[in-house]
Amino acid sequence: MRVSKQKAGEHRDAILLAASRLFRARGFDKVGVAEVTQAAGLTHGGFYGHFASKEALAAEVCDLSFGNAVRRVQASASLEDYIDYYASTEHRDREGPCPMVALGGDVSRLSGPVRAHFSAGVARYVAAIRAHMPTDDPLAEGRASALVSLLVGSMNLARAVAATDPALSENILLGVRQQARALLRG
């Protein structure tokens, strides 16, 4: 039975959203196509009408996830506000955190196309951070990259120790908020 172009687009979007949530929660390798399509409310038989492979889906999930992350940076009133959001217990405890935290470890084990989409997403994210910095700062590009690295690394550590040592996790988040502000001040 054929579906309309609109319905096919809705199905594709549902698969992308479900895959984004599942991949960010559990990683690329721990989620199968059947699970993604089930979470999207579809049968897995139609998956290949939308995506050539799970790898193609993973590449598009990178684009979607980084697009959402970049919009969040762009919507922030200031980098300080964004730092407060990012280095928070709310963000730490989300099932599907930012794509760099959720997917960064998996990407190095995947193919070129997924790596390329992930790299392009990181570049877009760093550029969004850079756009919040003074245009006349000759060190802004380096500061933006350092800030992203500081935020992502600290979030990985804070998440890793949260269950066994909540006080250490909170201290990591507090420390990164302080150090990120110091980095911005130069």
Backbone angles phi, psi at 53, to 5 degrees: -165, 170
Beta strand segments in 106-153, E: none
Lookup: tokens for 125: 């994210």
pLDDT in tens, 121-162: 999 999 999 999 999 999 999 999 999 999 999 999 999 999
Lookup: tokens for 142: 């380096």
Sign of torsion over alpha carbons 34, 40, 42, 46: negative
Answer yes or no: pTM beyond 0.85: yes
| Gap between the Cα atoms of 93 and 170, Å rounded | 12
pLDDT of res. 43: 84
pLDDT of res. 84: 96
Give the whole-number percent of the chain exceeding pLDDT 90. Answer: 73
